[in-house]
């Protein structure tokens, strides 16, 4: 459109190159968050979950007390979210399960981002043989269906700790990011400033670190956030399918046991099932709102409206 | 190689047979509504395109020349709209007040438009031939065979392998080929008013010369009324009989091309011509116009829009230049210039002549 | 044409390499599994009074490789059986060949995934166009927000919410096991039972995956709307209907890339949806085989899911080649 209208002020598309602004990031984020109450709510929910994840397991005894008279009961004053099939408090289960869920997801997202960005940058910058062989590998990783692979892996790997879970999720999940980072690198490479840096004879690590990385960092940061939600789904899903040890404290174990104790058939103890499901939804919603805010921090163009 | 004559052809849909229509633009204002404020991209323009003539519309980017060209087809893009004025085209009517459907039908059929970025004016997923059939469908052309014949004769007339062109996708054509295919699309339904928006931009020198000679020949052969919109004064000098110079949404000067180029009156036109490097003589003589053209937001609201870059204003500091937007003043019979300084000079010369 | 053939051959070759990697992976996995299930079965057969020879043969029938000999000879044995489409015998369902079980499960899953993909693709495209056309209105905003939220909802959450709502509150559709009385195939009973059993799973599928298509379609339409050739078409006086077709056909192209990338995810998602609805597909088979430590069945199901994803990818790729002339008629490579 900009080429057909004589409107340089509104028609022209600002160059998408983002200059690094490390110093102002938190300041900008705060300003952007305050612009919409929904974003504040999102940030608040995320913070609450993180706090629960940190202190949750310390709030309750290692073995939760059970009350055999109150099995799959509805919400009450003593048990705000009801009880499970053994008579344990659902809220306590939810709170103690949060740490595993968040730690595994965060570790996986971090691994994905590091692996994906490194492989994508290297392949896109180097091109040639390194690129084609790395992308072949990426294609393979992408084609192998992720969940089924994790299921098969669960026969040898018991995912007892959140760190093990995060490690496996991260190692199997970097394909998509590597691919898009590569294509962004390929297009950045053609831009004047990268050409110029290469023309000046700067070393490859320097060009990647100082010229390319700052420009893909926003995209990678967004992926880190979105990755957290994705990995929450997959680990909770693995536990939900019941192929993993259900001694682990994870929301997925709650879902699995709720379904296996007939909650979906009879409807009694509905909160036992709904609590983890709604927690996932709430956390997802919060992250979506936060991503919206991040989008604005990284894309100054969106700020004008 | 003569063109099949328009008359007697089943495809003639233009009401004016055998010659281009005349076009009268009166007091046309096109405003863009930005942040609740109307800003004029084209302000109170009067322009006449004589039937069968080629007019060159020149200006820097942002001068409003493309907006004016789009207005001719009733296609001003949002958030812009025509706020005042009329565009009377013979055989079509007033484009400003015409029903949208009638305007749509007139596009392509009576008014041909050759796109600025001819590079991308075709649907990348369809062959040229398929898009020709889409055009037929949209304009209720029943005789598709004769339309294809017409298209082929136009393409061959422009020196292309017509069969190959109709079978090609956009990505298989070179820039010059695309531009010629664009001209074919504009004329295949026998439009007699042809608007070309930057027809030579982004073409190499050889293709430019080619396209210009095609424009000239086709316009003469079909007696088209043609408007060539460009930032390149060389293009105008090459093809057009009349020239209209735009600056900041205003027509600052218009008249016969040779007169205007030989003896430019408006300080902007003078600056523009001074800025052209010559092949003969000293290239260093070319002088860039100081300052930058105004944008919608920076156009002065009162007075002459050009005064900030104007050497005459810098010298004379006429109060009128700050107070009122100069209106076009007729000079030397056929020319119009919108400049307070030129107008007063002219009046004085007149008075002296009379005395 | 030779170019298309070469392309297809390339796809198939890469697919075969994939299959080889996956089979090797499962072979190593089963072989190196703690408590070596192959050895375990062999020993239990010996205890039951089988001769070493007979026990060995029995184990080979189950797992596709003999429990003795070097790793390489076992591997070779395993691969040669696979080449004959022999996936071994199920341990849990005694005597039934894994190939047969997996094939019958595949029919259910393919029906489900196909219905889900078609539904979500159509829903995403249509709503994406609406969201783009009305992008400055409340409707457009609402659609975009709904899209990104639903895009974020995991399939099993959607499935479980639907199951709870519809089987507990309003028992309309059957979600129990499809009984073995109906023969899968192209007969009325099968199609009818697929419909009654697959409506909910397919709905869950579509609801949880159309959001991504909606968002992609929306941004794609918005970018095509800004393309020069759309304005050029309008200035040529093309009818609004045709202009709309120009926009939508061009905008839909990027969705094929998304589609191709999401098949792995979809067949993975099928695992969750199938087990939430007790739907007898490959995913459910995979989960139950792991639960029952039926490793030959597990390898078979995993292999077939991988093959399905590879085939789906090839189809999506070929489809893309058909719709985009720039790819189809590109010269050179």
Q: Do C236 and B108 touch (CB under 8 A)?
A: yes
Highest mean pLDDT among B61-75, C157-171, C188-202: B61-75
pLDDT at C35: 64
The least confident of A253-257, A278-282, C91-95 is C91-95
Distances in Å between the Cα of B126 and the Cα atoms of A136, B175, B259 are 32, 17, 46
Q: Which residues of A touch B32 (CB under 8 A)?
A: 7, 10
pLDDT (0 to 100) of residue C183? 53
Query: Please, which chains are in contact with B (at least 3 CB pairs closer than 8 A)?
Result: A, C
Contact A1 B117 (CB under 8 A): no
Chain C interface test: which of A4, A39, A147 (most C C-beta within 10 Å): A147
Query: Would you state the pLDDT for residue A5?
Result: 31
**Which residues in C lie closer than 8 A to residue A176 (C-beta atoms)?**
261
Confidence class for position C239, pLDDT limits 50, 70, 90: very high
Region A238-247: what's the mean pLDDT? 78
- Tell me what pLDDT residue C234 has: 92
Residue A71 maps to a domain:
yes
Q: Beta B54-58 vs B80-89: how paired, if at all?
A: unpaired
User: Does residue A172 surpass a pLDDT of 50?
Assistant: yes
Residues of B with Cβ-Cβ distance to A1 under 8 angstroms: 77
Tell whether the model's pLDDT for residue B160 goes beyond 50.
Answer: yes
Asked if A63 reaches chain B (Cβ–Cβ under 8 Å), the answer is: no
Residue A216 lies in a domain: yes
The predicted pLDDT at position A20 comes to 47
Q: What is the DSSP string of B94-128?
A: ETTTS-HHHHHHHHHHTEEEE-TTGGG-S-TTS-H
Is C110-281 CATH 3.40.50.300? no
pLDDT tens per residue, range C200-229:
888 888 888 888 889 889 988 988 988 889
Considering the domain boundaries, does residue A173 fall inside one? yes
| A5 assigned to some structural domain | no
Dist CA A229 CA C152 (whole Å): 8
Specify if A6 maps to a domain.
no
Give the H/E segment covering residue B349. Answer: helix B340-354
How do residues B229-271 score in pLDDT, each as one tens digit?
A: 998 888 899 899 999 999 988 999 999 999 999 999 999 999 8
Answer whether residue A11 is part of any domain.
Answer: no
Task: Find the Cα–Cα–Cα–Cα dihedral C158, C163, C169, C174, rounded to 10°.
Answer: 140
Q: Using CA coordinates, name the residue in chain B closest to C320.
A: B125
pLDDT score, position C92: 66
Could you give the C-alpha distances from A132 to A128, A172, C238, in angstroms and in order?
6, 20, 44
For C275-319, the pLDDT digits (tens) are 888 888 888 888 888 888 788 888 888 888 888 888 888 887 787
Q: What mean pLDDT do residues B118-141 have?
A: 89
What b/e string do you get for A128-160 counting C-beta neighbours within 10 Å, with b at 16 or more? Answer: eeebeebbeebeebbbbbbbbbbbbbbbeeebe
Going along chain B from its start, the domains and CATH numbers come out as 23-252 (3.40.50.300), 297-355 (no CATH)
Cα distances (Å, whole numbers) of residue A40 to A33, A37, A287, A296: 6, 5, 11, 14
Compute the radius of gyration of chain C from its Cα atoms.
24
Which chain B positions have a beta carbon within 8 Å of A12's beta carbon? none
Three-state secondary-structure class, residue B11: coil
B108 vs C228: CB contact, 8 Å cut-off?
A: no
Q: What is the CATH number of the domain that holds A148?
A: 1.10.3720.10
For residue B66, which residues of chain A lie inside 8 Å, CB to CB? 4-6
| pLDDT grade for B185, boundaries at 50, 70 and 90 | very high
| 268-287 in chain C: CB under 8 A from chain A | 268-269, 271-272, 275-276, 283, 286-287
Domain ranges of chain C: 3-83, 110-281
- In chain A, the residue whose alpha carbon lies closest to the alpha carbon of B65 is A6
Subunits with at least 3 CB pairs below 8 A relative to chain C?
Answer: A, B
Which pLDDT belongs to residue B352? Answer: 84
CB contact under 8 A, C152 and A287: yes
B121-134 as b/e: b if 16+ CB within 10 A: bbbbbbbbbebbbb
Comparison of pLDDT for C231 and A217, the residue scoring more: C231
Residue of B nearest to C252 (CA): B125
Q: Is the Cβ of A4 closer than 8 Å to some Cβ of chain B?
A: yes
Residues of chain B in contact with residue C319, where contact means CB-CB under 8 angstroms, are none
User: In which domain, by residue range, is A84 found?
Assistant: 22-302
Find the closest chain C residue to B102 by CA distance.
Answer: C237
Residue A12 lies in a domain: no
What's the whole-number mean pLDDT along residues B129-158?
Answer: 92
Using an 8 Å CB-CB cutoff, list chain A residues near B80: 5
The number of folded domains in chain A is 1
**Res A10 pLDDT > 50:** no
pLDDT confidence tier of residue C91, bands split at 50, 70 and 90: low
**pLDDT on residue B14:** 39
Residue B6 has pLDDT above 60, yes or no: no
pLDDT tens, residue by residue, B17-66: 457 788 999 999 999 887 778 888 898 899 999 999 999 999 888 888 98
pLDDT at C190: 64
pLDDT of residue A18: 46
User: Which pLDDT score, from 0 to 100, does residue B161 have?
Assistant: 93
pLDDT at C66 over 70: no
């Amino acid at each position: 459109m900009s080429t057909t209208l004589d409107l340089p002020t509104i028609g022209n598309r600002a160059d998408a190159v983002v200059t690094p602004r490390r110093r102002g990031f938190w300041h900008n984020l705060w300003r952007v968050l305050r612009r919409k109450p929904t974003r504040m709510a999102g940030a608040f929910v995320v913070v609450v979950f993180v706090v629960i994840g940190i202190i949750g397991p310390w709030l309750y005894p290692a073995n939760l007390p059970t009350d055999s008279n109150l099995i799959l009961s509805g919400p009450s004053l003593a048990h705000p979210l009801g009880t499970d099939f053994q008579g344990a408090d659902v809220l306590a289960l939810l709170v103690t399960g949060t740490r595993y869920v968040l730690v595994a997801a965060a570790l996986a997202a971090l691994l994905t981002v590091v692996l994906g960005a490194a492989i994508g940058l290297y392949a896109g910058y180097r091109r040639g043989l390194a690129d084609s062989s790395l992308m072949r590998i990426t294609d393979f990783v992408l084609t192998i269906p992720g969940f089924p692979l994790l299921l098969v892996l669960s026969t040898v790997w018991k995912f007892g700790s959140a760190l093990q879970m995060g490690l496996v999720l991260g190692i199997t999940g970097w394909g998509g990011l590597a691919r898009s980072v590569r294509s962004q690198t390929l297009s950045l490479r053609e831009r004047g400033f990268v050409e110029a840096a290469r023309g000046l004879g700067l070393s490859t690590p320097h060009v990647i670190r100082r010229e390319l990385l700052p420009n893909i960092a926003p995209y990678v940061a967004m992926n880190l956030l979105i990755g957290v939600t994705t990995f929450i789904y997959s680990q909770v899903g693995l536990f939900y399918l019941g192929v993993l040890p259900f001694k682990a404290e994870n929301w997925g174990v709650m879902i699995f046991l709720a379904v296996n104790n007939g909650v979906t058939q009879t409807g009694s103890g509905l909160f036992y099932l709904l609590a983890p499901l709604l927690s996932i939804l709430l956390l997802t919603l919060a992250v979506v709102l936060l991503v919206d805010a991040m989008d604005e921090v990284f894309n100054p163009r969106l700020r004008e409206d | 190689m003569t063109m099949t004559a328009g008359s007697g052809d089943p495809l003639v849909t233009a009401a004016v047979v055998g010659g281009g229509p005349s076009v009268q633009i009166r007091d046309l204002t096109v405003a863009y509504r930005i942040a609740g404020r109307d800003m004029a991209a084209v302000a109170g323009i009067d322009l006449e395109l004589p039937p069968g003539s080629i007019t060159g519309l020149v200006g820097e980017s942002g001068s409003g020349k493309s907006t004016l060209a789009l207005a001719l087809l009733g296609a001003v893009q949002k958030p812009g709209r025509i706020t005042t004025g009329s565009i009377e085209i013979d055989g079509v009517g007033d484009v400003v007040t015409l029903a949208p459907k009638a305007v749509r039908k007139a596009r392509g059929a009576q008014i041909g438009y050759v796109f600025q970025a001819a590079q991308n004016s075709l649907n990348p997923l369809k062959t040229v031939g398929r898009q020709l059939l889409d055009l037929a469908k949209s304009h209720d052309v029943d005789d598709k065979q004769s339309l294809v014949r017409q298209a082929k004769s136009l393409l061959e007339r422009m020196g292309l392998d017509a069969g190959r062109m109709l079978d090609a996708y956009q990505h298989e054509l070179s820039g010059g080929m695309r531009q010629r295919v664009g001209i074919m699309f504009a004329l295949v339904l026998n439009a007699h008013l042809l608007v070309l928006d930057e027809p030579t931009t982004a073409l190499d020198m050889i293709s430019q010369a080619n396209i210009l000679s095609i424009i000239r020949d086709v316009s003469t052969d079909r007696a088209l009324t043609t408007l060539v919109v460009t930032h390149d004064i060389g293009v105008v000098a090459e093809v057009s009989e009349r020239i209209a110079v735009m600056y900041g949404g205003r027509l600052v000067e218009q008249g016969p091309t040779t007169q205007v180029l030989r003896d430019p009156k408006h300080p902007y036109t003078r600056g523009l011509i001074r800025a052209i490097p010559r092949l003969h003589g000293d290239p260093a003589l070319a002088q860039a116009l100081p300052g930058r053209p105004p944008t919608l937001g920076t156009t002065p609201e009162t007075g002459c829009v050009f005064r900030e870059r104007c050497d005459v204003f810098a010298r004379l500091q006429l109060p009128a230049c700050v107070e009122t937007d100069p209106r076009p003043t007729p000079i030397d019979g056929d020319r119009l210039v919108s400049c307070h300084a030129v107008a007063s000079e002219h009046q004085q010369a007149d008075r002296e002549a009379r005395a | 044409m030779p170019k298309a053939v070469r392309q297809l051959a390339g796809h198939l070759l890469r697919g075969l390499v994939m299959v080889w990697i996956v089979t090797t992976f499962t072979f190593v996995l089963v072989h190196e599994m703690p408590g070596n299930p192959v050895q375990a079965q062999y020993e239990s057969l010996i205890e039951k009074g089988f001769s070493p020879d007979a026990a060995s043969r029995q184990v080979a029938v189950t797992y596709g490789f003999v429990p003795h000999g070097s790793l390489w000879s076992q591997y070779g044995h395993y691969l040669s059986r696979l080449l004959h489409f022999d996936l071994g015998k199920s341990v849990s369902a005694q005597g039934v060949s894994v190939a047969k079980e997996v094939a019958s499960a595949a029919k259910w899953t393919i029906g489900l995934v196909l219905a889900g993909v078609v539904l979500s693709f159509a829903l995403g495209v249509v709503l994406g166009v609406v969201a783009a056309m009305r992008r400055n209105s409340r409707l457009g905003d609402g659609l975009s927000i709904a899209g990104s939220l639903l895009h974020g909802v995991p399939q099993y959450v959607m499935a479980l919410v639907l199951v709870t709502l519809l089987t507990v509150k309003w028992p309309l559709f059957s979600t129990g096991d499809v009984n073995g009385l109906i023969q899968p195939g192209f007969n009325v009973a099968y199609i009818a039972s697929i419909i009654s059993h697959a409506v909910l799973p397919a709905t869950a599928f579509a609801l949880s995956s159309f959001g991504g298509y909606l968002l992609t379609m929306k941004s794609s339409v918005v970018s095509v709307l800004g393309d020069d050739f759309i304005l050029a078409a309008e200035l040529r006086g093309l009818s609004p209907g045709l202009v709309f077709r120009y926009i939508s056909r061009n905008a839909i192209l990027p969705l094929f890339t998304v589609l191709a990338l999401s098949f792995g995810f979809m067949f993975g998602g099928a695992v969750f949806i199938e087990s939430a609805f007790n739907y007898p597909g490959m995913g459910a088979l995979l989960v139950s085989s792991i639960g029952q430590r039926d490793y030959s069945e597990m390898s078979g199901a995993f292999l077939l899911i991988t093959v399905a994803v590879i085939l789906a990818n090839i189809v999506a790729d070929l489809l893309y080649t058909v719709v985009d002339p720039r790819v189809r008629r590109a010269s050179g490579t």
